[in-house]
């Protein structure tokens, strides 16, 4: 019997490659997605459903929380998303306004609770060095400390799951290359902060994605405006 892994997925490039890596490493994968009122919620859900089928996930679970509603531009209808020259993906000097407060801590805890309940050994996440430049909860020390906390967070009869971050030292071009190696369905992914039929191409997430495929020397299988 294969060991189980919960894959905390947004529907974007990074978490999808991480989920494909879990499958490649011979885990039985269970995809876990959080709906938190983000502007791209409906498009992300569609991506998750398609990615789950493509990867042959044993289960695709959706969980909703209103905790972050109207807290950041990603969850506030009238708030603009920084785009174009407002975004600095090369050498960010501070955490962008698109930060969602303690999101990886909250989502990681939710996915870990689910993992404990189903007896999963791992929780695969898409944390990476590219986003680690701007977001402190994407860095190796966050993963290390989170795993230390998990050791004291489960029942006496449970074995604590472990956060697995296979991309934590990778920049976007390397993530794209790994995606091809593990047959990740990158054509199904949705990275944009906004809803729509195609990526906006201007928000921070889209710019990181563009850079990744460009530097990797391959064509992005998705479309941009």
Would you state the pLDDT for residue 25? 98
Q: Is residue 225 part of a domain?
A: no
In a domain, 196, yes or no: yes
CA distances from 63 to 38, 126, 133, 162 (A): 13, 18, 28, 20
* Any domain includes 222: no
Cβ pair 10, 125 in contact under 8 A: no
pLDDT of residue 177: 98
Count of domains for the chain: 1
Residue 165 in domain? yes
User: Which pLDDT does position 82 carry in this prediction?
Assistant: 83
Please state whether beta strands 4-8 and 28-35 pair in parallel, antiparallel, or not at all (unpaired): parallel
Q: Which domain, by its residues, includes 69?
A: 4-216
Which CATH number goes with the domain that contains 136? 3.40.50.620
Return per-residue pLDDT of the chain as tens, 225 residues: 899 999 999 999 999 999 999 999 999 999 999 999 999 999 999 999 999 999 999 999 999 999 999 999 999 999 999 887 777 676 666 788 889 999 999 999 999 999 999 999 999 999 999 999 989 999 999 999 999 999 999 998 889 999 999 999 999 999 999 999 999 999 999 999 999 999 999 999 999 999 999 999 999 999 998
Residue 221 inside a domain? The answer is: no
What count of Cα atoms within 13 Å lies in the side-chain half-sphere of residue 217?
0
- On whether residue 174 sits in a domain, the answer given is yes
pLDDT given at position 225? 85
Say if 224 falls within a structural domain: no
Say if 223 falls within a structural domain: no
How far is it between the farthest Cα atoms of the chain?
A: 52
- pTM, entire model: 0.95
Taking alpha carbons only, the member of 163, 144, 218 closest to residue 15 is 163
């Amino acid at each position: 019997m294969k060991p189980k892994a919960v894959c905390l997925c947004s529907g974007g490039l990074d978490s999808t490659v991480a989920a494909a890596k879990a499958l490649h490493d011979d885990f039985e994968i269970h995809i876990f997605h959080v709906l938190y009122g983000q502007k791209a919620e409906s498009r992300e859900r569609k991506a998750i459903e398609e990615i789950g089928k493509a990867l042959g996930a044993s289960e695709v679970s959706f969980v909703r929380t209103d905790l972050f509603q109207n807290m950041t531009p990603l969850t506030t209808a009238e708030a603009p998303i920084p785009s174009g020259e407002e975004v600095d993906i090369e050498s960010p000097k501070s955490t962008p306004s698109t930060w969602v407060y303690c999101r990886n801590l909250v989502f990681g805890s939710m996915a870990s609770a689910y993992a404990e309940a189903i007896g999963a050994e791992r929780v695969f996440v898409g944390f990476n060095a590219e986003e680690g430049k701007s977001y402190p909860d994407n860095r190796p020390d966050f993963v290390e400390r989170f795993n230390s906390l998990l050791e004291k967070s489960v029942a006496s009869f449970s074995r604590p799951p472990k956060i697995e971050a296979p991309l934590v030292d990778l920049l976007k071009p390397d993530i794209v290359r790994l995606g091809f190696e593990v047959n990740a369905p990158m054509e199904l992914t949705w990275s944009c902060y906004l809803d729509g039929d195609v990526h906006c191409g201007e928000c921070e997430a889209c710019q990181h994605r563009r850079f990744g495929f460009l530097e990797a020397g391959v064509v992005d299988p998705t479309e941009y405006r």
